[in-house]
Chain A
Amino acid sequence: GAVVSQHPSRVICKSGTSVKIECRSLDFQATTMFWYRQFPKQSLMLMATSNEGSKATYEQGVEKDKFLINHASLTLSTLTVTSAHPEDSSFYICSAGRDSKRGIDTQYFGPGTRLTVL
């Protein structure tokens, strides 16, 4: 299957700082990338859909100004958690979608980034 990487895999930061997470599709061009958040022992919650060259579409309840998403190229999307607080501590997972005639059937997931805000 396709390979999606995330960097960093783990980050610890102080409250009030901003953290940038990168998501890269390594072997295909992804016009669409997705950002999810997962709390311990819970399911994935879609935060936003990122389309290359346009603004991200955020899910209801997700603050656009807090979670900045940039999809500058077909292989890179970034999520910046601005002014992070302890409640933002979570596992953030990105995925890249491969277009087909039916739209995007399969998403390829990155390994995730564990964010801990002190």
Chain B
Amino acid sequence: SQQGEEDPQALSIQEGENATMNCSYKTSINNLQWYRQNSGRGLVHLILIRSNEREKHSGRLRVTLDTSKKSSSLLITASRAADTASYFCATKRGAQKLVFGQGTRLTINP
């Protein structure tokens, strides 16, 4: 079953604005990861944050993790048209298994 709930399900913003997506989960985790999926394509790994980390940056991406609230957020700054995609959070349970959230469909309008 899917553990992650993502919010919002869909987000449409203007190019140059910041986009924030949230993810909540239910059980304890080892780490949380964010992936991007362009329409009809595979997933691209964006960033991994471990349970003992609170914030992580990678280029225009900023991820936060609040284990007390069992939630994470992904911020994309200065959005570009190429950022249009679906974004999924995934939590690692056990030794190997990743469980994906429902995803946020992000549209960047030029």
B68 within 8 A of A: no
Q: Is the interface of A mostly helix, strand, loop or mixed?
A: strand
Q: Are A1 and B95 in contact (CB under 8 A)?
A: no
Q: Are B42 and A112 in contact (CB under 8 A)?
A: yes
Q: CA of A114 to CA of B42 in the docked complex: distance in angstroms? A: 11
B69 within 8 A of A: no
Q: How large is the interface on B (under 10, 10 to 19, 20 to 34, 35 or more residues)?
A: 20 to 34
Partner-binding segment picked from A43-51, A69-77, A78-86: A43-51
Q: Which residues of A contact B44 (CB under 8 A)?
A: 109
- Partner of A105 from the list B48, B88, B101, B103 (CB cut-off 8 Å) is B48
- Please list the residues of chain A having a beta carbon within 8 angstroms of any beta carbon in chain B: 1, 4, 6, 32, 34, 41-46, 49, 91, 93, 95, 97, 102-112, 114
